[in-house]
Amino acid sequence: MTTSAFSTPGHWIGGEAVTGSTGTITVSNPATGEAIAEIPAGTAAAVDRAVAAARAAFPAWAATAPAERAAVVRRIAEGLGARAEEIATAITAEMGSPISLSRTAQVHFPIAVAQAFTALAADFDWTEELGNSLLVREPIGVVAAITPWNFPLQQIVSKLAPALIAGDTMVFKPSEIAPLTARILAEVTAEAGLPAGVFNVVYGTGAVVGEAISAHPDIDMVSFTGSTRAGRRVSAVASETVKRVALELGGKGANVVLDDADLEQAVTIGVAMAFTNGGQVCGAWPRLLVPAWRQDEVVALAVAAAGQYTVGEPTDEATRIGPMASEEHRRKVHGYIERGIADGAKLVFGGPGRPEGLERGAYVRPTILADVDPASEAAQEEIFGPVLTIIPYADEDEAVEIANSTIYGLTSGVFGAPEHALAIARRLRSGQVDINGAQWNPLAPFGGYRQSGNGREFGRLGLEEFLETKSIQR
């Protein structure tokens, strides 16, 4: 693959490609280490220019009828569908998602989210009577979006669709590790009829562009998805201008398997929720909590399920786990595996080192650790890789205590008889809980408790994040 395979000629500001950087950033294919593109290293000046474009476009876009705004979002969803293969290929190249996953989740999830928001807009109560008051829901203004590399299109569409329907304009900083779909999205928005300046893209690092965005006085809101560490920094910088901050941060989801669960179903789905996208999912379930007396049975099922996750070149249709998104991240995940074993966990699958035959590229061996101490680093910290920790518990009270014991609270799963599982789900301090592998619902709010963030994405609550409420007394 050559550097000419993907093109990102400049930032996207005011509806066109523009220059404005102190150099370039190389985008590498994590499967090979080869350079595949160059993006501009954005500056605070580029952020200023993008914010000015968004601010200038705001009055007209905010005055556009919600139905018209929703129609544009609908056309954006259609445009993404028309370029689905191009998007899938770019995501696989830039961050190593297996091509089969890129074609499904990486492309079709954001399309489904955009479509769900357009349907929601038709029935949304933009005004409400409350006694002698008229409540009016209005766009918040210029919104900044900062997103990570693991689901590069999904993360921005989950912010862009509700922001556009709300009437906001946007400045977007994609991850410098996986920035290639940002240009495709910008082109699709223009083709869908989005006015120039409503959506702007500034490439660059968090240390430069992210800081400038968070501190900018003319940005009314920052919607950030990424690590808890980076989220703390965004909050601290943004607090100087008292702008709204929505954070979707790290997770350490627990999959609580009850004694009346369908064990094979619970473990099979649990392994999938730990290994999908190489475990690089904030909503993953890397902790599998099981009755102590059934741990050996669970281990056997988990090892059998893990054996089905082929590790390999991400362009291969048979691959289920590709490389980690970067060599730096590979080393981080590998270190967690080594420390988990050193801390006393029992290695039952995988382990340190690269998979056989994959000496080049950011690959790790999918790993299962059993009999894990719930207070250990492997059970407490977000590894963000294909590492499943099996944790035994003595009774349900201990299971709930362990599930709630981390600083996170984003997603969890419970498997058991439906009413029994529901009772346990109510006790979990988690923003989203799936019972018995329930189907994903793009209208249900998604977000975390504690240091998994604040605010919600998707559905009515996700739209309200991008709105201000005015009270008019009459």
Taking the CA atoms of residue 373, residue 375, residue 379 and residue 380 in that order, the dihedral angle to the nearest 10 degrees is 180
Distance (Å) of CA 245 to CA 104, 230, 285? 30, 13, 26
Measured from the Cβ of residue 30, the count of other Cβ atoms closer than 10 Å reads 28
Options 94, 282, 313, 465, the catalytic residue: 282
4 CB-contact burial (10 Å; exposed 0-12 / middle 13-18 / buried 19+): exposed
342 CB-contact burial (10 Å; exposed 0-12 / middle 13-18 / buried 19+): exposed
CA–CA gap between residue 247 and residue 236 (Å, rounded): 12
**Residue 316 CB contacts under 8 Å (≥ 6 apart), including other chains:** 98, 99
Active site (annotated) includes residue 282: yes
CA–CA gap between residue 420 and residue 400 (Å, rounded): 13
Are residues 265 and 416 in contact, defined by beta-carbon separation less than 8 angstroms? no
Active site (annotated) includes residue 327: no
Measured from the Cβ of residue 420, the count of other Cβ atoms closer than 10 Å reads 17
Q: Which residues pair with 256 in a beta bridge?
A: 289, 414
Options 94, 176, 248, 457, the catalytic residue: 248
Catalytic site positions: 248, 282
